[in-house]
Amino acid sequence: MAQKWDKLSTSCIICGAPYGKYGEFRLVAQQPRGFTIGEPGKPRIAGKGIPSAEAELEDGTVLHAWGELSEPEILEKLVEAVLNREHPWFCMKCGHRVCSECGAPLEQPPGSDIIGDDFQTCHVPIFPIPYKCTNPSCPHSK
Ligand SMILES: [Zn+2]
Ligand SMILES: [Zn+2]
């Protein structure tokens, strides 16, 4: 059941940061936090010990959220965005993909599903190499 989208949300569903504040990537799912929309009764299983919640949508599909996104006020915002045909996402900061040294976003968000301008999601794998910081004056950018 394909969801129809008019646009991507303009800001992070968790912290409200506008797009671009923490890098160019929009995150939708990681092991510790995220959301999916699917058939009832087939939720993506959140990892052990990770809180999760579901909300039924008007078309009979179910929004399944886990981690911080399952908190009632964020779940409510997720549902509201989806009903407005806006695709929600969360930022690199909320996805813990910022530099440990300076707080700038990393070049890539490893271990995350991201969504592009075309509403296509793709997965950024975890590579066994250090991730570079996007702040040119930070030692981690070298
Ligand atoms: Zn955020
Ligand atoms: Zn840095």
- pLDDT at residue 6, rounded to an integer: 95
Tell me the two tokens of residue 12.
């992070």
Whole-number Å distance between alpha carbons of 22 and 19 = 7
Whole-number Å distance between alpha carbons of 76 and 65 = 11
- pLDDT at residue 2, rounded to an integer: 55
Question: Does residue 111 surpass a pLDDT of 80?
Answer: yes
CA–centroid distance, 36 to ligand 2, in Å, is: 31
CA–centroid distance, 133 to ligand 1, in Å, is: 18
User: CB of 14 within 8 A of CB of 69?
Assistant: yes
CA-based nearest residue to 106, from 121, 93, 88? 93
CA–centroid distance, 135 to ligand 2, in Å, is: 5
> Residue range 8-13: average pLDDT?
98
pTM score of the predicted model: 0.92
Residue type, 45: I
CA–centroid distance, 9 to ligand 1, in Å, is: 12
